[in-house]
Amino acid sequence: MSTLQTAAKPLDLILLARSLLFSLGMLLSTGVGGLVMMLSVFLPFAWRYWLSQQWARFNVWWLRVTCRIDYHLSGVEHLPDRPVVVMAKHQSTWEALFLHQLLPPVAWVVKRELLWFPLFGWGLALLRPIAINRRLGSSAGRQVIRKGVEHLRQGQWVLIFPEGTRTAPGTRKRYGLGGAVLAAHSGCPILPVALNSGECWPRGRFIKRPGTIQVVFGPLLESEGRSPQELIRQVEEWIEGAMTRMGQTARDTE
């Protein structure tokens, strides 16, 4: 066995232990948080949302403590004081936690099956998500538009992952039109977000690796007078351009 292989094993065990510790903390906090949400069912929505943010905030902090995963923000000056459609890169579970604890009340577009999970799903249902049945195809898309416009008019932001699912670092999927259609119908701008969370918390991997996740908020893309096709093209160009620059910066610092 080479010296490199011998040295790698203790490191892998440390990463495994840290990841296990984080997962245990997240599991326990989710159980407690779900119970708290159930007890808060009669509280005003703003209070319920604040309670859910404390759960997300704890897990972002716990991840930093256990797995040494931190983050760095850029472009925070672009965060507005009015409802927007947030369209973000999706590489990991991390951004779901992070964006939830950072942003004002957000309506998530989620698979309806998530609401069936005991405690977690029941608590999620109290946060006014846009739950869709993907099997319905175009009907699900119309539901996102209808409910999304309602949320935006009530002052609640809407968050959509335009690629629809998590992607590995360095890859991309087709950007769906849903978020751009919602922005065009509502007249609200789009806030694009680029991030590289998959470098530390890869999709489908239990072990998490230490590092600093970069989160970049882009300038608002106004939707009035623009077609969904034009909007989604701009969103994709900005996000993927930011991802390329992020990767280049990481290579230059190695």
Per-residue pLDDT tens for 212-226? 999 999 999 999 889
Identity of residue 149: V
CA distances 247 to 31, 61, 163, 206, 254, Å, are: 37, 25, 19, 23, 11
Other Cβ atoms less than 10 A from the Cβ of 105: the count is: 20
Tokens of 182: 């919602």
CA angle, 153 then 157 then 160, to 5°: 120
Burial of 152 (0-12, 13-18, 19+ CB in 10 A): buried
Cα 195 to Cα 217: distance, rounded to the nearest angstrom: 9
Q: Is 187 helix (H, G, I), strand (E, B) or coil?
A: coil
Q: What is the pLDDT of residue 38?
A: 87
Q: What is the pLDDT of residue 7?
A: 45
CA angle, 96 then 122 then 198, to 5°: 15
Domain residue limits, the chain? 3-253
Average pLDDT over residues 70-80: 96
Beta strand 130-132 with 85-88: parallel, antiparallel or unpaired?
unpaired
Nearest by Cα to 158 from 89, 50, 84: 84
Indicate the pLDDT class of residue 138, thresholds 50, 70 and 90: low
DSSP 134: G
Tokens of 186: 């509502």
Average pLDDT over residues 108-135: 81
Per-residue pLDDT tens for 19-61? 999 999 999 999 999 899 888 889 999 999 999 999 999 999 9
Domain 3-253, second-level architecture: 3-Layer(aba) Sandwich (3.40)
CA angle, 169 then 172 then 175, to 5°: 140
Average pLDDT over residues 135-152: 79
pTM equals 0.89
Range from 63-67, 175-179, 233-237 carrying the lowest mean pLDDT: 175-179
Cα 134 to Cα 164: distance, rounded to the nearest angstrom: 11
Q: Are 176 and 161 in contact (CB under 8 A)?
A: no
139 pLDDT exceeds 80? Answer: no
The average confidence (pLDDT) of the chain is: 89
Task: Say which residue, 176 or 252, is predicted with more confidence.
Answer: 176
Angle between helices 3-39 and 45-67 (to 10 degrees): 160
Rounded to the nearest 10°, the torsion over CA 240, 113, 51, 25 is: -80
